């Protein structure tokens, strides 16, 4: 089951307003957002979050069974650019002159459509080099792990969601990085090991929950999934680190912490 929230959105509405609505849907917990004809649709797996979003945005909502929403979602999947990368679903053509990251998110998060994913991707080329040891905390579709592996890293990826396991396996094969990514199903805070770089694209609530109890060690941590401003200070406290570099898009921020 999941829940679709439809916000009416006239085609002549300014792009900045549409971006704001898209961000609001993500912030309120959408797992996917798509633009249909005159409608912006947020998909939620949490009914209470969907109801709140519908109320805040004066939108309608309805419930669908899982496959229906996901199949509809597929037909709207698009190509997304971030730094040297292009994130594309397997059924769209290779994009020339870019590092193609082929991602079928399946039931997991991380199609590249969310600004936070793209912000973290944009920071990777300056940090990851061949041989880097990377850990991807909350890997979802595996998009960040695969991008890092394509830059030559060896990656450990972890997620609590069994849907991520299936998505990561398929996506690693599609990108021919099976031997460079190790997936582990479980809680990110319990994963042990020494790494050069940690990646953590999660909401501030999750960062605050896992940050203080992370068992893994890494020199540099890249965080996404946070809003500019107050959440930047909170994420530094959660991980007990300082901001070394920062990238923003709309109201979202990704930070390199050391």
Kindly state the smallest distance separating residue 38's Cβ from ligand SAH, in Å: 28
Q: Which residues pair with 62 in a beta bridge?
A: 4
Binding mask 188-217 for ligand SAH (x = CB under 6 A): x------------xx---x---x-------
Confirm or reject binding of residue 122 to ligand SAH (CB under 6 A): no
- Looking at the Cβ atoms of 40 and 82, the one nearer to ligand SAH is 82
Strand ranges inside the chain, DSSP E: 2-8, 32-36, 39-44, 60-64, 80-82, 85-88, 99-102, 133-137, 154-159, 181-185, 194-201, 217-227, 243-249, 252-257
Query: Taking CB under 6 A as the criterion, which residues in 133-192 touch ligand SAH?
Result: 138-140, 143-144, 158-161, 164, 187-188
Kindly state the smallest distance separating residue 136's Cβ from ligand SAH, in Å: 6
Q: Residue 91: count other Cβ atoms within 10 Å of its Cβ.
A: 10
Kindly state the smallest distance separating residue 198's Cβ from ligand SAH, in Å: 12
Q: Which helix (H) or strand (E) holds 112?
A: none
Q: Which span sits near ligand SAH by CB under 6 A: 34-42, 94-102, 106-114, 171-179? A: 106-114
Whole-angstrom distance, CA of residue 40 vs CA of residue 105: 20
Please identify which residue in the block is written with the tokens 């229906």: 68
Interaction site with ligand SAH (CB under 6 A): 108-110, 117, 120, 138-140, 143-144, 158-161, 164, 187-188, 201-202, 206, 210
């Amino acid at each position: 089951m999941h829940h679709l929230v439809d916000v009416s959105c006239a085609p002549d509405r300014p792009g900045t307003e549409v971006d704001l609505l898209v961000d609001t849907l993500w912030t309120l917990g959408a797992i996917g957002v798509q633009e249909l004809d005159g409608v912006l649709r947020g998909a939620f797996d949490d009914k209470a979050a969907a109801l709140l979003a519908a109320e805040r945005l004066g939108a309608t909502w309805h419930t669908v069974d899982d496959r229906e929403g996901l199949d509809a979602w597929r037909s709207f999947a698009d190509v997304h650019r971030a730094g040297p990368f292009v994130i594309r679903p397997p059924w769209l053509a290779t994009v020339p002159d870019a590092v193609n990251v082929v991602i079928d998110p399946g039931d997991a998060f991380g199609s590249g459509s969310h600004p936070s994913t793209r912000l973290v991707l944009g920071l990777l080329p300056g940090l990851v080099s061949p041989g880097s040891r990377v850990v991807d905390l909350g890997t979802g579709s595996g998009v960040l792990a695969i991008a890092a592996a394509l830059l030559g890293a060896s990656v450990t990826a972890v997620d609590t969601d069994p849907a991520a396991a299936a998505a990561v396996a398929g996506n690693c094969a599609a990108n021919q990085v099976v031997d460079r990514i190790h997936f582990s199903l479980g809680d990110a805070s319990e994963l042990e090991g020494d790494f050069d770089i940690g990646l953590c694209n999660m909401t501030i609530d999750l960062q605050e929950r896992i940050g203080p109890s992370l068992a893994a060690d890494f020199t540099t941590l890249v965080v996404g999934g946070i809003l500019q401003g107050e959440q930047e200070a909170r994420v530094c406290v959660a991980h007990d680190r300082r901001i070394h570099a920062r990238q923003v898009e709309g109201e979202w921020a990704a930070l390199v912490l050391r």
